[in-house]
């Protein structure tokens, strides 16, 4: 075994140990707690995503209990399994260099690293989307019977997050663009694969029909948030930094080089062209749309799934020409992973508040501990339902305190959430409520809904002696009638 493989194994095991330590020693973030609520209330659909993340979390909780490790176990398991599979795919289909590059680039990249420590819909999206790319590849280049499996996996990707749709369009366009594969357009297995994907996805459509197209309305409003040149630059500059400038450069440039060769009838590699098409379709959509809408950093992730393959196959052929570029790409990725990991456990950077992204793992720590002490000291409030006007606070309370009555979200002048379906506002007003808000004062927009609002306690979260977030606890009673 050569030194490079030994070094790769050591780094891989080290990162696995870091991830295990991380998920066992930090609180889940609020989004994870919210998706853990999905797993308590399994359904074919939810207002903002499909059901796959709920099932992944449910399995982890079944194995390890409803705690941080149980919530996150599935994310780490899927991330690790996919990384190993990428190595064997690259080695078998191309060469050992490609296998090493595929595995290493995915395993240590900070943008993908998050999928191994935080349970969000991006975890199954990446897992099933990348596997779908692999099986459609095998269907085109080895055996068309792989279309069946590819369609099944694609359906699960769509059930994970709707953005897998753009990868699916790439699968369908490849035989149209590449003349050598247009024979596939006459193969019923090609079309049947998309029918399978649609059948897997259809329960989510039915759920939407039954719930007044809740997902469509919510996501439509979500992506309609107006963007600007600054948000466009922030999105793609941030992606370039987190993904790594080298990987980002090849993801952006290689698809167009391949497609330009098609235009000139000079295709050099149909395999690279396949990955180029799968990368180009989501790239065109996300670049165009981000001119007009404000996107979060994780939204364009489907662009980089195909880009990962394109980069690895391209550099794997001539690895000896790119040692410095690969070293820079991997070195930067490893540095960012270690920097954030150390900052989370031993904060040393002179940044505070929202500027320190690692505060996300601590922002609710004091709230949970102090609220638990308050309820122990005031047992008369244990049968009250705890509420907030966002989904984050009740989700963290439900996961860590497990109150007799599930905490809920009021959603007054706030978008709908899972809680809107479980506990409509009118039913909550009939409950005895404890309200948790951010800051010291009661929100003015909520005041008209209750005639008696009693302050109970101040709760705050500190980290190493620094204030991270203030909360306040209130008793609500005798609701006013709504004017409507």
| pLDDT for position 228 | 84
For 189-240, write each residue's pLDDT tens digit: 999 999 999 999 999 999 999 999 999 888 877 666 677 889 899 999 999 9
Instruction: With a cut of 70, list the residues of the chain below it in pLDDT.
Output: 1, 222-225, 481-484
Phi, psi angle pair for 15, to nearest 5°: -70, -35
d(CA 216, CA 204): 11
For helices 30-40 and 68-93, what crossing angle results, to 10°?
100
Phi, psi angle pair for 387, to nearest 5°: -140, 160
| Beta-carbon contacts of residue 477 (< 8 Å; ≥ 6 apart) | 432, 433, 450, 451, 452, 454
Q: Are strands 433-438 and 385-388 parallel, antiparallel or unpaired?
A: parallel
| pLDDT for position 353 | 78
Tokens representing 375 are: 């309820």
d(CA 154, CA 473): 46
Instruction: Output the CA–CA distances (angstroms, integers) from residue 456 to 53, 419, 447, in the order listed.
Output: 37, 24, 16
How does the average pLDDT of the chain come out, rounded? Answer: 93
| pLDDT for position 131 | 98
| pLDDT for position 317 | 85
Tokens representing 460 are: 């705050």
CATH number of this structure's domain 362-479: 3.40.190
d(CA 36, CA 61): 9
d(CA 280, CA 259): 9
| pLDDT for position 263 | 83
Tokens representing 338 are: 């270690």
| Residue 182 DSSP symbol | G
| pLDDT for position 1 | 53
In 10 A of CB 174, how many CB atoms? Answer: 23
Domain boundaries, the chain: 3-345, 362-479
For 2-14, write each residue's pLDDT tens digit: 777 787 888 899 9
């Amino acid at each position: 075994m050569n030194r490079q493989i030994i070094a790769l194994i050591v780094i891989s095991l080290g990162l696995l140990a870091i991830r295990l330590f991380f998920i066992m020693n930090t609180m889940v973030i609020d989004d994870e707690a919210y998706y853990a609520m999905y797993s308590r209330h399994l359904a074919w659909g939810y207002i903002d995503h499909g059901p796959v993340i709920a099932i992944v979390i449910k399995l982890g909780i079944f194995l390890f209990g409803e705690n941080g490790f149980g919530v996150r176990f599935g994310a780490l398991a899927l991330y690790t399994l996919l990384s190993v599979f990428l190595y064997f795919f690259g080695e078998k289909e191309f060469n050992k260099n490609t296998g090493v590059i595929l595995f290493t680039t995915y395993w240590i990249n900070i943008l993908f690293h998050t999928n191994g420590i935080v349970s969000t819909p991006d975890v199954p999206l990446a897992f099933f989307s990348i596997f779908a790319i692999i099986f459609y590849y095998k269907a085109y280049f080895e055996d068309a019977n792989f279309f069946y499996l590819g369609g099944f996996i694609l359906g699960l990707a769509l059930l994970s997050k709707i953005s897998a749709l753009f990868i699916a369009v790439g699968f369908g366009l490849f035989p149209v663009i590449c003349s050598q594969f247009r024979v596939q357009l006459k193969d019923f297995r090609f079309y049947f694969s998309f029918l399978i994907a649609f059948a897997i996805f259809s329960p989510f459509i039915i759920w939407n029909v039954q719930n007044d197209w809740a997902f469509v309305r919510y996501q439509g409003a979500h992506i309609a948030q107006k963007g600007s040149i600054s948000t466009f630059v922030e999105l793609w500059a941030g992606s370039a930094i987190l993904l790594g400038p080298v990987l980002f450069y090849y993801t952006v440039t290689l698809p167009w080089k391949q497609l330009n060769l098609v235009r000139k009838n000079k295709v050099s590699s149909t395999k690279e062209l396949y990955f180029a098409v799968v990368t180009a379709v989501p790239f065109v959509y996300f670049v165009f749309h981000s001119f007009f809408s404000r996107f979060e950093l994780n939204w364009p992730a489907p662009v980089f799934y195909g880009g990962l393959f394109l980069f690895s196959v391209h550099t794997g052929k001539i690895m000896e020409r790119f040692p410095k570029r690969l070293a820079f790409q991997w070195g930067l990725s490893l540095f960012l992973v270690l920097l954030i990991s150390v900052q989370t456990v031993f904060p040393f950077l002179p940044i505070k508040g929202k500027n320190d992204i690692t505060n996300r793992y601590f922002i609710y720590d004091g709230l949970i501990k102090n609220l638990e002490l308050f309820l122990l000291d005031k047992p008369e409030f244990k049968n009250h339902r705890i509420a907030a006007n966002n989904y984050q606070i009740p989700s963290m309370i439900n996961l860590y305190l497990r109150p007799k009555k599930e905490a809920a979200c009021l959603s007054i002048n706030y978008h709908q959430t899972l809680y809107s379906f479980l506990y409509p506002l009118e039913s909550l007003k009939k409950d005895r409520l404890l309200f948790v808000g951010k800051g010291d004062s009661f929100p003015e927009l909520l005041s008209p809904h209750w005639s008696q609002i009693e302050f109970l306690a101040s709760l705050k979260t500190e980290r190493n002696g620094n204030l991270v977030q203030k909360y306040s606890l209130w008793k609500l009673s005798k609701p006013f009638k709504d004017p409507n």
